[in-house]
Each structure stands twice: as C-alpha cells, then as structure tokens.
Amino acid sequence: MASSDDPFARFSNIVTRIEDLEEVIGEPMPQIVAKELPALDSICRDFIAHAPFCFLASSNPAGYLDISPKGDPAGFVKVLDEATLAIPDRPGNRRVDTFHNILKDPRVGLLFLVPGRGETLRIRGEARIVQDTDLLKMMAINDRPPKLALVIHVQSAFMHCPKCVFRSNIWQPENWPDTSGLADMNEAMVKHAQIAMSPEEWFESLKNKGELDLW
C-alpha cells in the first residue's frame, strides 16, 4: 500500500517489474537490439555532420538528471575519430550545470536532430571538459573560439526510430500550435526570478551588458 505522501499513490496499476513491462509492450526484434554500435560508423558521423542541434543529458551529484540543449551551425559537434566527439561551449547564462555535473559524474547521453528528418541519433559516453588550444581554434566562429569544449568518448550509438517525430509534426509548420499567447524567456525570467523590471526592460538590460552575444 502506498503511503499518503507518495506522489504516485493516486495512480493504479503501476508497473514495477520488468516481466510486467514486457507483458504490456512486448520484446524488441533482435535486429533492434543488434543495431547498437560501440563506436561511430560512417552513417552516424554523417548524421552528426548535418545536425545543428542536440540535447545533452548528465547527472547531478544528487543523482537527478539534467538535459541541456546545444545548437550551432550544422556540424558544430566535431567527430575527431570513431569514438571521440567534441562540443564547443558557446556563451550562455554561465550556470554550466552540465559541467558541474560532469566534474562529479562523467557519464553523458546525447540526442542529435537533423531538420526535416524523422530519425534521431542517440549516443552514450563519458565526457571531459578541456581547454585544448588547437581544438578550440578548430571550433571558432567569426574568429571567436569557445573558451571550453566538451570531449566525449563514445561508448554506444544507435539510430532511433522516427515514429515520435512523425507523430509530433515537429518539422511541419502548418501543424504547429498557436504560440501567440505563450510567455517568452524574458517574461519567464521576470516572473520566476522575481525581477523588478518589465520583460522589455530586462531584455534591454541584457543587451546593454552584452549577454545576448551568440559567439
């Protein structure tokens, strides 16, 4: 019996065993299991070269997961060899949650997206934060190299099926929801951080401080 302070107590039929999960979902075809690779082949490398965006997952010291979006011109993640990736660290909000996490637990996960394509690429590996001068110069944009890069030793890679992307219509603008009433980042910051400014004033203050620079 779930305790009264259990946040899941209101739900019935909670799956807690692998056997129960497999009874509901079934087992994957052997080919689906076999597609996982220990390193990057030419298909994976080509997909990364065309990807302008990825998600990076890491675990904080308390064991909770963080997911950070990363984006730049296509090919911004450099494939150094079949088992090594490098991701530039562009100007951001300087929270660097991912870096803090990696200093405690180097295990990471990546999900790459290519606009217009349904499949995604999933990667697991181990990361290090580096200041290698030659590597940073390689990732410069407008003659501005990043201050840091994340180097990832790839331990697992596989293409993920496109069904979720097809269902979401993420690449079909005609099917996108109306976002005209959705708060933007400036509105969210003013409310969530309790900033004594209007969203417009907050945006101008960031612009004047150079906090909106992309590279």
Task: Express each pLDDT in 146-201 by its tens digit.
Answer: 999 999 999 999 999 999 999 999 999 999 999 999 999 999 999 999 999 999 99
Work out whether the CA dihedral 195, 196, 198, 200 comes out positive or negative. negative
pLDDT at residue 1 is higher than 70? no
Beta bridge partners of 123: 110, 157
pTM of the full structure? 0.91
Sorted by sequence, the CB contacts under 8 Å of residue 107 that are 6+ apart come out as 58, 59, 124, 125, 126, 127
Q: Are 57 and 66 spatial neighbours (Cβ–Cβ below 8 Å)?
A: yes
Question: Left (φ > 0), alpha (ψ -120 to 50) or beta: where does 173 sit?
Answer: alpha
Are 85 and 127 a contacting pair, CB within 8 Å? no
Taking only the tens place, the pLDDT of each residue in 19-69 is: 999 999 999 999 988 899 999 999 999 999 999 999 999 999 898 999 999
Q: Quick one: how far is CA 204 from the chain centroid?
A: 28
Confidence label for 3 from pLDDT (cuts 50, 70 and 90): low
Q: Where are the beta strands (DSSP E) in 14-119?
A: 53-59, 65-71, 78-81, 84-88, 107-113
Q: What are phi and psi of 124, to 5 degrees?
A: -120, 150
pLDDT single digits (tens) 94-146:
999 999 999 999 999 999 999 999 999 999 999 999 999 999 999 999 999 99
Range list of β-strands (E), the chain: 53-59, 65-71, 78-81, 84-88, 107-113, 120-130, 149-160
**Distance set, CA 160 to CA 6, 97, 111, 123, 193 (Å):** 34, 26, 9, 10, 37
pLDDT at 87: 98
- Other C-beta atoms lying within 10 Å of the C-beta of residue 166: 12
**pLDDT at 2 (0 to 100):** 45
Q: What pLDDT score does 53 carry? A: 98
Residue 215 is predicted with a pLDDT of 87
